[in-house]
Amino acid sequence: MVKALVHKARTGVRRIDAANEGLCFLIGRMFEPLVECRRRNGHCDRRACTKIAALTVFARRNFSDQEEMMRAIAFPHADEHARDHRRLLDDLEELYRSNTCADIERARVREVLLRWIAAHVTAEDRSLGDWARTRRELVALVHEVEGRAVGADWADVAVDEGHMVGMVAE
């Protein structure tokens, strides 16, 4: 279900889509019936859930990467978007601190994740993707006008805005 949702909500921006697909893969893998939550040196003691910790690490890394991208392309709703990222991290932290076990309370943990993903990926990430694609097309246009090759690097999208506006206006 989550995989279909993420696939349907693809933005066309590889950096966003790959992160969401990664999160979806991790969730799917974690909640497979035979994947148990175990500590490195023994059985899970039903405290400090390693699955929730792993999800938090993965999400935090993806979010900070996405927030860096938002700054680079001057996304106008960056603060609001980052607040929504923070909301999931807070929820995960609360689950972790309250000793929720992702095995015993599988349905509850899954529900928290799926509800957030369904809302965030289809609205916030979609909106960011639209903005990023528009910027990318604009940069490609500027490069074409200047006779420069368009690189595949994301940094191309972070071209100086004043320069870009000037080029388009000419």
Residues lying near Fe ion in the complex (CB under 5 A): 66, 125
Question: Of 82 and 142, which has the nearer Cβ to Fe ion?
Answer: 82
Residue with smaller CB distance to Fe ion, 74 or 165: 74
Please give the single-letter amino acid code of residue 165: V
Shortest spacing between CB 66 and Fe ion, in angstroms: 5
Taking the least distance from each CB to Fe ion, the nearer of 19 and 49 is: 19
CB of 19 to Fe ion, least distance (A): 8
Select 52 or 70, whichever has its Cβ closest to Fe ion.
70
- How many Cα atoms within 13 Å fall on the side-chain side of residue 79? 1
Backbone torsion region of residue 43, taken as left when φ is above 0, otherwise alpha when ψ lies between -120 and 50, otherwise beta = beta
Which residues does 36 contact at the CB level (< 8 Å), separation at least 6? 44, 103
Question: Closest distance between Fe ion and the C-beta of residue 15, in Å?
Answer: 11
Q: Which is closer to Fe ion, CB of 64 or CB of 99?
A: 64
Closest residue to Fe ion using C-beta atoms: 125
Q: What share of the chain is helix, strand, coil (3-state, %, to 5)?
A: 70, 0, 25
Cβ-contact 101, 37 below 8 angstroms? yes
Neighbours of 76 (CB within 10 A): 11
To Fe ion, the closest distance from the beta carbon of 131 in angstroms equals 12
The structure tokens 């991290």 sit at 89
Q: How far is the CB of 170 from Fe ion (least distance, A)?
A: 35
Rounded CA separation 24/27 (Å)? 5
